[in-house]
Amino acid sequence: MCLSMIEMASPDLGKMMRGLDEHVRVTADPFAVRGWVGREMADARFVYFESIFLPLGDDGATVDHIACISVYVPKAPD
């Protein structure tokens, strides 16, 4: 999914993702994040996530793509 698609669907999430992407682009370092989600939302579909942002580029210094791999733990059915 392109970042612009995420920004259109969920502006707050898109803003956070753009900040993470910019950090990875500028530093050219991988970045990992994990945590609990949906605690404040009764209709949350997930309870926990882990994501890694991997800078990609031809020369090792210029980042022209960022791969984001995530895993989400679904909420147990009621």
The pTM of this model reads 0.76
Which has the closest alpha carbon to 25: 68, 52, 56, 50? 56
- The pLDDT score that the predictor gives to residue 54 is 95
The secondary structure of 1-41 as a DSSP string is: --HHHHHHH-HHHHHHHHHHHHHHHHH---EEEEEE--TT-
Stretches where the chain sits below pLDDT 50 are none
Q: Residue ranges per domain, the chain?
A: 3-74
Q: What is the CA radius of gyration of the chain?
A: 14
- The pLDDT score that the predictor gives to residue 59 is 80
- Residue 55 sits at φ, ψ, to 5 deg, of -75, 135
- The pLDDT score that the predictor gives to residue 31 is 96
- The pLDDT score that the predictor gives to residue 51 is 93
